[in-house]
Amino acid sequence: MGYNRFRAKLLLHVGLALLSMVALMVVLFRTEWYIAAFCIGVLLAMQLYALIHFVERTNHDITGFLEAIRHSDFTQRFPEKGGDQTYTHLYKAFNEISDSFLKIKADKQAHYLYLQAIVEHIGIGILSFDKDGNVLLLNHVAKELLHQPHFTNIKTLNRVSEELLEVLQRVGSNEKALVTLHHNHEQLLLSVHATVLVSQGKSIKIVSLHNIQAELEEQEVQTWQKMIRVLTHEIMNSMTPVISLTSTVNGILEDELEARQAGEPISEEALEDIQDGLKTIERRTTGMLHFVKNYRRLMRLPLPELQTISINNLLRDVHTLLKPYFETAHVELSTYLVPSDITLQADPEQLEQVLINLLKNAMEACEQSSDPSVEVVAYADETNKYKVRIEVRDNGAGIPDEVLDRLFIPFYTTKKQGSGIGLSLSKQIMRQHGGSIRVKSKAGGPTVFILQL
């Protein structure tokens, strides 16, 4: 109906214009009615203007509607009543399309707000970005974990942690990684889990950041409880046979004393049994004594006596101390110092103890290699010139994954003669110095222990 009206009105404008043109031609060439010709010419001009305006108005309305759609402006309204009836159906169609788009936009906005509320409600950090690193989504938990109130590209995280930035760029879909962050004196252990999806032809990576430091500390408490149970079990297992053996030796001795009182000589076999029993008791109690000493050493670690020390001097002293030990084992020991020496407040004896323990472990780990070598590398942290990292590297066979997770558990050891407290003790010392100790290893080596101070 609207199209028929538009066509009829268009034909009317064209017809009137043609009639005026014919009339003008007749008056000009058949008569001398110049005034009438002038009037007809004016009328023809008005009709042509009306025709052009009629067509341009339609184009203008369609162009305006399409521009509004292109800019997502669905608030523009067209008059359906009180205007030219020719455009009523056109304007009504425009308004209905705008209402449909407006509803879609409102639904989309509602879904976005709903999603945003869910993301903000989640107790873990959520971060999403495109292949260029542009941040698309960031919730408040992620901001707090990263100590960054706002950033638009993940490359900004380079000043927070180079390791974190490298992991975010490298981690693939359904892959996980662990990253340690340090802020002031706070240490966070982030579990990073990524998912990659393609939306509208663009690759988007969604990353969850979960601080598992509290869970690890809880696990550590459980480990200590387990250690106490192990300690109790070990003492009971050692003392029960000692008590039984003591009772047996005492019985043999009483029998021999009674026999002696009766005038019989002491049996050589009985003396051997008593001697063997006493040696066994001595050996078992000595083992328990060593075990308890190790336990006390682990539980009663003294507070560090802080003083200003030079990292390079510390490494030189440890190198000089252990060099003969390494030469005897035919293991090469190399030490690389900090180019610009760094001093810090620390307990030199405790740090020496940590380094000695790591270096001895590294030497034992690579003794079976064809060309065994251990390196100690110290360098300044690029993100903070007042921090230093010390790495102890060996070219041994590496550490299996199932062992790697248990290295710092007290009394856990893979050595036949090991006590299982060295690495746990080292971790406590590093904690008391406000630092950390980590290990990186893979099958076939190398293995790297990293101290950060």
pLDDT tens column, 140-164: 888 888 888 888 888 888 888 888 8
More confident position, 45 or 186: 45
DSSP 215-271: HHHHHHHHHHHHHHHHHHHHHHHHHHHHHHHHHHHHHHHHHHHHHHHTTPPPPHHHH
Q: Cα–chain-centroid distance for residue 180?
A: 8
Question: What pLDDT was estimated at residue 158?
Answer: 83
DSSP bridge partners of 247: none
pLDDT at 2: 46
Pick the more confident residue, 274 or 175: 175
Q: pTM of this prediction?
A: 0.42
Cα 177 to Cα 165, 209, 355, 393, distances in angstroms: 12, 10, 27, 22
d(Cα 335, Cα 320) in Å, to the nearest integer?
A: 10
Q: What is the model's pLDDT at position 118? A: 78
How confident is the model over 291-328, as pLDDT tens digits? Answer: 666 666 655 666 778 888 888 888 888 888 788 778 88
Q: 80: which DSSP letter?
A: -
- Given a contact cutoff of 8 angstroms between Cβ atoms, the answer to whether 5 and 85 are in contact is yes
Answer yes or no: is pLDDT of 242 > 80. no
249 contacts 274 by C-beta, under 8 angstroms: yes
Where b means 16+ CB within 10 Å and e means fewer, 278-309 reads eeebeebeeebeebeebbeebeeeeebeeeeb
**CA angle (155, 161, 167) in 5-degree steps:** 70
Window from 5-9, 50-54, 79-83 with minimum mean pLDDT? 79-83
Give CA–CA dist 453/450, Å, rounded: 10
Mean residue pLDDT of the chain comes to 77
Distance, in Å, from the CA atom of 244 to the CA atom of 155, rounded to the nearest integer, reads: 69
Helices (H), 300-347: 311-328
Residue 9 has pLDDT above 80, yes or no: no
Q: Pairing mode, if any, of strands 135-138 and 384-394?
A: unpaired
pLDDT band of 1, cuts 50, 70, 90? very low
Distance in angstroms (rounded) separating the CA atoms of residues 78 and 94: 7
Hey, what are 76's tokens? 């523009």
The strand ranges marked E within 337-426 are: 343-346, 373-381, 384-394
Please give the average per-residue pLDDT across 89-115, as a whole number: 78
| Tokens of residue 294, six digits | 């190790």
Q: Write down the pLDDT at residue 119.
A: 75
Residue 237 in this model has a pLDDT that exceeds 80 = no
Total residue count of the chain as it appears in this document:
453
Read off the pLDDT band of 3 (50, 70, 90): very low
